[in-house]
Amino acid sequence: MRAVVHDRYGPPEVLRLEDVERPVPGPGDVLVRVRATSVNQTDCHMRRARPFVWRFMLGLRRPKRRILGMEFAGEVAAVGEGVTAFDVGDRVFGIRNFGSNAEFVCVKESSPLARMPDGLRFEEGAAIFDGAFQGLAALRRGNVGEGTRLLVYGASGSCGTAAVQLGRHLAAHVTAVCNTKNVELVRSLGADEVIDYTKDDFAKNGETYDVILDAVGKQSFLHSRGSLRQGGVYVATDRMINVALLLWTRWFGKRKVVFGMPRLTQENVLFVKELVETGRYRAVVDRTYPLEDVVEAARYVESWQKTGNVVLTVDASS
């Protein structure tokens, strides 16, 4: 089968297509013929191994896992002994830590995997879970619920578009911050208020919030602190300095820095699937590339200009 591989850390150009051994399902395994997958910021961090701490998880000198890719959507090609939840031919989608930028993936039946809702295209199915899981983890960590005043900075990205929709589902009052071109999109996702950061600075408008989510790792706690109510929470998704601030604010001050750590579970997959089926959540797809154009796709993701998600389509061999 074809897969996108990398044997060293670096820019998008280290990625290449290569024929690799097709996985064989063992007991409890589901083999998925991938029709669409994605390229996200986490993939780019892992490919570059930046910050350096990634190397302690991925391999100090070179990547231990050659195939990147988290999200996938496709069809069940085969099942291992004992599998009862899925049948050959089922349209499925899911998420894993590595290995989805390929023509086939092999996952456990109990992994974050589910049948796709009727009518959902593979390109949409492959763009749902990364942002949704990040947004869900962030809002849960911030205890977002009915009446919570939530501000989402970077509301037009993968995590941001998810957090706006999930915040609406949780009955929070959602203020979204994005650039001019995405104002109407973000409003259509359910934001109660939208701030165009090219024209206004949310930290200077006098409003305060219970939770501020930095969905793109471009904001700072120090800049946002004055916009947090006492007892408020700043939810970080990136930047090493926030690790130090998490420890500091745990003991000092009345405003806390926390991280939302996504949990890749089947329970969360089924929760998000139900939102999709009932029209309360949709994936935002910016661009779609064929698998062989993965280098160009990765370059675009790293430009920080994408809206929502970037998808790779896969013409899987038989």
pLDDT over 50 at 318, yes or no: no
Mean pLDDT of the chain: 93
Long-range contacts of 220-227 (CB under 8 A, 24+ apart): 221/245, 221/249, 221/257, 224/153, 225/255, 227/151, 227/202, 227/203
- pTM, two decimals, is 0.92
For 99-113, the pLDDT digits (tens) are: 999 999 999 999 999
Mean pLDDT of 47-55: 83
Rounded CA-CA distance 202/208 in Å is 9
For 76-88, the pLDDT digits (tens) are: 999 999 999 999 9
Rounded CA-CA distance 178/160 in Å is 9
CATH superfamily of 130-259: NAD(P)-binding Rossmann-like Domain (3.40.50.720)
Determine what percent of the chain is predicted with pLDDT higher than 70: 95
CATH class for domain 2-128+283-313? alpha beta
- DSSP strands (E only) in the chain: 2-5, 16-19, 29-39, 71-79, 91-95, 104-108, 113-115, 149-153, 173-178, 193-196, 209-214, 228-236, 256-259, 285-290, 309-313
59 or 126: which leads in pLDDT: 126
Predicted local confidence at residue 243, as pLDDT: 64
Predicted local confidence at residue 296, as pLDDT: 98
Mean pLDDT of 290-311: 96
Rounded CA-CA distance 297/283 in Å is 18
Three-class SS of residue 302? helix
Largest CA distance in the chain: 61
Among the residue ranges 116-125, 197-206, 213-222, the one predicted with the least confidence is 213-222
pLDDT over 50 at 248, yes or no: yes
Task: Count CB-CB contacts under 10 A for residue 27.
Answer: 10
Predicted local confidence at residue 254, as pLDDT: 79
Rounded CA-CA distance 100/104 in Å is 8
Rounded CA-CA distance 300/22 in Å is 29
pLDDT over 80 at 241, yes or no: no
For 148-206, the pLDDT digits (tens) are: 999 999 999 999 999 999 999 999 999 999 999 999 999 999 999 999 999 999 999 99
Residues 6+ apart with CB under 8 A from 278: none
Mean pLDDT of 103-129: 97
Predicted local confidence at residue 249, as pLDDT: 65
Mean pLDDT of 270-283: 97
pLDDT over 70 at 40, yes or no: yes
Query: For strand 256-259 and strand 228-236, is the pairing parallel, antiparallel, or unpaired?
Result: parallel
Task: Count CB-CB contacts under 10 A for residue 302.
Answer: 18
Per-residue pLDDT band at 251 (split at 50, 70, 90): low
Rounded CA-CA distance 127/145 in Å is 25
pLDDT over 80 at 244, yes or no: no
Residues 6+ apart with CB under 8 A from 76: 30, 31, 32, 33, 86, 87, 88, 89, 90, 92
Predicted local confidence at residue 240, as pLDDT: 59
Please report which helix (H) or strand (E) contains residue 292, including its range.
none
Predicted local confidence at residue 129, as pLDDT: 97
Question: Which tokens is 241 given?
Answer: 């300095």
User: What residue spans define the domains of the chain?
Assistant: 2-128+283-313, 130-259
Per-residue pLDDT band at 52 (split at 50, 70, 90): confident
pLDDT over 90 at 11, yes or no: yes
Task: Count CB-CB contacts under 10 A for residue 273.
Answer: 21
* 48 to 9, 129, 173, 228, 273: CA distances (angstroms): 5, 22, 37, 34, 32
